[in-house]
Amino acid sequence: MIAKSTPMQLFVLALLLAATICNGTGRPTGFPPRRFLEKKFADIDGKKMAYVEVGTGDPIVFLHGNPTSSFLWRNVMPHLEGRGRLIAPDLIGMGDSDKLDNSNKYRYTFLEHSNYLYRLFEIIGVKERVTFVIHDWGTALGFHWAYLNRKNPNSVKGIAFFEGFVSTFERYGDFPEEIEPFFRVLRSPAGEQLVLEDNAFVEDLIPSAILRNLTKPEFDEYRRPFLKAGEDRRPMLTWPRQVPIEGEPAEVVAIVKKYSKWLARSELPKLFIDGKPGLISPSMRAVVKKWKNTEMAAVKGIHYLQEDSPTEIGKAIAKWLP
């Protein structure tokens, strides 16, 4: 079952579009036409998954990570309009997708996210000739889908990726030193207070990982899915606990190692968008420079490159698009 945005959701979009268009430095917020914000919905086992869909043709799928949503892609997608069927899902429990029932520390794992996302793909017809544009945990989800479908030469046309998981971290020392202490705490019992109650991922990590200052309407949209303290924020805490560090979690380590080995030798067209200075980008460079058929494009930004360099990202992908 597929539905469109409700009147209330359209009202929220209208408020966003009518809100203050400049931040304190006078830079425009750059909210795109409403079609790049309006959501459709598909039913997955009784849970709604939201997604933006614009255009027709071969699928170009934009996958976000933590703690964002399809909103992150709003100013990148317009640069690819007319080049295919643009699709940007909200992962389960994030954006406008439903929260899971009986949430606890075992929910929202990589495997659970992949199950919901790949079911969504089946329902909306994302099966062949897919181009992925992927970031953060969206990289692992997109790479894994490509790996699972590797025996079908028509499944994936190409993958553009940045600030994500191209390999495992053998030890904490391989992790970006700027956030290593933060992630150690998140993977400890103290993470419950930090994320579920204090909302540190949204309030602290997002602004620290963007060069410019978000406007209030922009920041409010990132806050909106996680306004309620407690288990509604569980996706943001489970994600850092799924990062493959020092062999844990074993199932994620195995998945990342398999797709990384395959991508290194695959002739599949790939575009690495290199963040300058970046957060994970520096550690990614050493890995992807050994990958076959991989082009590179440098843009300004820390982790959420889409907020600092959406035009540069969009143009680089449009030029490279297979």
Contact 34, 22 (CB under 8 A): no
User: In 10 A of CB 54, how many CB atoms?
Assistant: 20
- pLDDT for 24 equals 34
Which one is catalytic: 64, 113, 144, 303?
303
In terms of Cβ atoms closer than 10 Å to its own Cβ (0-12, 13-18, 19+), residue 184 is middle
Q: Which residue has the tokens 């540190």?
A: 200
- pLDDT for 23 equals 38
Contact 199, 67 (CB under 8 A): no
- pLDDT for 258 equals 99
Q: How far apart are CA 120 and CA 43, in angstroms?
A: 8
Q: How far apart are CA 231 and CA 103, in angstroms?
A: 6
- pLDDT for 2 equals 58
Confirm whether 136 is a catalytic residue: yes
Confirm whether 303 is a catalytic residue: yes
Query: Which pTM was predicted?
Result: 0.91
Average pLDDT for consecutive 10-residue bins of the chain (322 residues)? 48 39 39 91 98 98 98 97 98 99 98 99 98 99 99 98 97 85 92 97 96 96 98 98 97 99 98 98 96 98 98 98 92
Contact 288, 294 (CB under 8 A): yes
Which one is catalytic: 90, 98, 163, 307?
163
Going from the C-alpha of 222 to that of each of 72, 173, 215, 216, 225, the distances in angstroms are: 9, 30, 11, 10, 7
Phi and psi angles of residue 51, each rounded to the nearest 5 degrees, phi first? -160, 150
DSSP-derived letter for residue 296 is: E
| Sheet containing 156-164, strands listed edge to edge, beginning at the edge strand earlier in sequence | 2-4, 40-44, 47-54, 85-89, 59-63, 130-136, 156-164, 270-277, 294-301
- pLDDT for 236 equals 98
In the chain, how many H helices and how many E strands? 13, 9
- pLDDT for 111 equals 99
- pLDDT for 127 equals 97
Distance of CA 142 to the CA centre of its chain: 10
Q: How far apart are CA 6 and CA 10, in angstroms?
A: 6
Contact 160, 76 (CB under 8 A): no
Which one is catalytic: 53, 98, 136, 231?
136
Please state whether the peptide bond connecting residue 89 to the residue before it is cis, i.e. omega within 30 degrees of 0.
Answer: no
On whether the 2-320 domain is CATH 3.40.50.1820, my answer is: yes
